[in-house]
Structure 1
Amino acid sequence: MIQLTALTKRYGDKTAVDDLTLLVRPGVVTGFLGPNGAGKSTTMRMILGLDLPTSGTATINGRAHHELPHPLRTIGSMLDARAAHPRRTAYKHLLYQAQTNAIPATRVDEVLDLVGLTEVAGKPAGSFSMGMTQRLGIAAALLGDPPVLVLDEPVNGLDPEGVRWIRALMRGLAAEGRTVLISSHLMSEMAMTADRLVVIGKGRLIAEGEIGDFTAAGSAVAVRTPESGVFARLLELAGAHVRPGPDDELLVTGMEAADVGRLAAAEGVTLFELSVRHASLEETFMELTRDAAEYGAAR
């Protein structure tokens, strides 16, 4: 479990993380989302003891990172998969980390096999492709068989087989009761991997909850009718909000599909389509963070 309590980090007059209180539970994959500059990296660095909070606390299973006698056996992490000496072999990169945390050398072979790098264990990390480098970073995170994992952009550089593998791995680790926190900008991948989402912007919590709640919140009833103008007015008089959609659709919110159908029947309006459309995670994310993006393209 990861617990953040009023966590704050300031750099001079800039507040990177602002009074962030959050509980990352075991047994589920938690997606950590936010636009560039939202404070995600700073938050993860404070969890891992790489940055000190200005105020507030970040604990792992009830203890701050610096209180852990063998950190890699409690929390595994990957913030930058390239954090390996380019002339050091994959095996030695992991072995030296294992030795600093009283982890048996046999575990190095286990994680190399787990991530599919056994055949290149004796090659220098600097010769690896981006996908192989990513797998080495994941191996380092898993080295201590930790109950808590924090991974930043874990699918970067992976091919489709690798993406499916890491997705299954994360979900499998969570199913074992581990705490899994992953940060990514890939909304489609997050939608298939995460069970729960946390969204921050400008250092503050914007939203959190089950992933289905996010997409359901952006749902609308789609209606196609030859009498769209008349029916739109009837819907608004009944208290619904109506906006135009693609292909001459009406997108209705504030009214259930069954009630839209009953209104059409009562008023004698012909319907060609009546369906529920769920917003994608990307659409929901963009709406949530519309006013929280630090950097944005001109429109």
Structure 2
Amino acid sequence: MIQLDGLTKRHGDVLAVDDLTFTVRPGLVTGFLGPNGAGKTTTMRMVLGLDLPTSGTATINGRAHHELRHPLREVGSMLEAQAVHPRRSAYKHLLYLAQTNAIPDVRVAEVLDLVGLTAVAGRKAGEFSLGMGQRLGIAAALLGDPPVLMLDEPVNGLDPEGVLWIRTLIRGLAAEGRTVLVSSHLMSEMALTADRLVVIGKGRLIAEGDIGDFTEGGAAVFVRTPDAASFTRRLELSGAHVQPGGADELLVTGMTAPDVGRLAAAEGVPLFELAPRRASLEETFMELTRESVEYGAAR
């Protein structure tokens, strides 16, 4: 379990993380989302003891990172996959990590096989592609077989097969009862991978909850009818909000599809199409973080 309580980080006049409190529970994949500059990486660095908080606490299974005797056996992390000496082989990189954390040497071969790098274990890390570097970073995170995992943008540089592999791996690790925190900018991937979400903006918590909570609230009903104008008025009189689409299309919120269908039947309105439509995670994320984007394009 990862617990943050009032975690705050200032860089001079810049408030990078602002009184952040949330819990990452075992047995679930928790997605950590936010726009660029939201404070995600800074937060993860404080959990791992790489940055000191200005105030507040961050603990891993009840202890601060500096209190862990063999950190890689308690928490595996990947914040920067390319943080490897370029002239060191993949095998030697992992071997040295294992030896400093009392991890058996045989584990190095196991994780290299797990991430698909056995054939290139003797190659220098500086010769690796971006995708291979990501796999090496994940191997390092898994080296100590830790109960807690923190991965920052783990699918960067991976091809479609690699993305599917890491998604399956992450979900499998959580199913074993591990605590898994994953940051990503790919909303479509988070929708397929995460069980829960934590969304921050400008260092502050914006929302958290089960992933279904982030789409059900934006549920709408798509309607096609030749009587769009008059049916719009009837829907609005019934308390719905209606957004016109094409000449005969309406997007209705505030009413369920059965209620829209019953109103159409009562009013004698012909329907060509009636279908519930759930908001995508991307749409919900954009709405939640609208006021937190620091570097947005002109509109």
Same fold (TM over 0.5): yes
1:132-163 Cα distance to aligned partner (Å, 9 max, x none): 11100000000000000000110111111111
Give the match for residue 294 of structure 2: 294
Give the match for residue 102 of structure 1: 102
The CA deviation at 1:246 is 4.8
1:54-98 Cα distance to aligned partner (Å, 9 max, x none): 111000000000110111000000000001000001111011111
Gap change, CA 1:247 and 1:197, over 3 Å in 2: farther
**Alignment pair present for 1:69 and 2:62:** no
- For 1:82, give the aligned amino acid: Q
The CA deviation at 1:216 is 1.4
Q: Is the 8 A contact 2:226 2:248 kept in 1?
A: no
The CA deviation at 1:210 is 1.2
Q: Secondary structure at the match of 2:205?
A: strand
**Alignment pair present for 1:270 and 2:270:** yes
Report the TM-score when normalising by structure 1.
0.98
- For 1:197, give the aligned amino acid: L
The CA deviation at 1:293 is 0.6
How far apart, CA to CA, are the structure 1 residues paired with 2:49 and 2:206?
24
Moved more, 172-181 or 203-212: 203-212
Moved more, 284-293 or 247-256: 247-256
Give the match for residue 52 of structure 2: 52
| Aligned positions of 1:1-299 closer than 5 A | 1-246=1-246, 248-299=248-299
Q: Secondary structure at the match of 1:37?
A: coil
Moved more, 243-252 or 172-181: 243-252
Name stretches of at least 5 consecutive residues in structure 1 with no aligned partner.
none
- For 1:185, give the aligned amino acid: H
Count of matched residue positions in the alignment of Structure 1 and Structure 2: 299
The CA deviation at 1:224 is 1.0
Q: Secondary structure at the match of 2:212?
A: helix
How far apart, CA to CA, are the structure 1 residues paired with 2:230 and 2:103?
71
Q: Secondary structure at the match of 2:199?
A: strand
How far apart, CA to CA, are the structure 2 residues paired with 1:246 and 1:50?
53
Q: Secondary structure at the match of 2:123?
A: coil
Q: Secondary structure at the match of 2:290?
A: coil
The CA deviation at 1:248 is 3.6
The CA deviation at 1:13 is 1.3
Q: Runs (4+) of structure 1 moved beyond 6 Å?
A: none
The CA deviation at 1:260 is 1.0
Q: % of aligned pairs identical?
A: 81
- For 2:122, give the aligned amino acid: G
Q: Secondary structure at the match of 1:53?
A: coil
The CA deviation at 1:181 is 0.5
1:110-136 Cα distance to aligned partner (Å, 9 max, x none): 111111111111111001111111100
Name stretches of at least 5 consecutive residues in structure 2 with no aligned partner.
none
Gap change, CA 1:104 and 1:246, over 3 Å in 2: farther
Q: Secondary structure at the match of 2:122?
A: coil
The CA deviation at 1:236 is 0.8
- For 1:69, give the aligned amino acid: R
RMSD across aligned C-alpha pairs, in angstroms?
0.9
Report the TM-score when normalising by structure 2.
0.98
- For 1:121, give the aligned amino acid: A
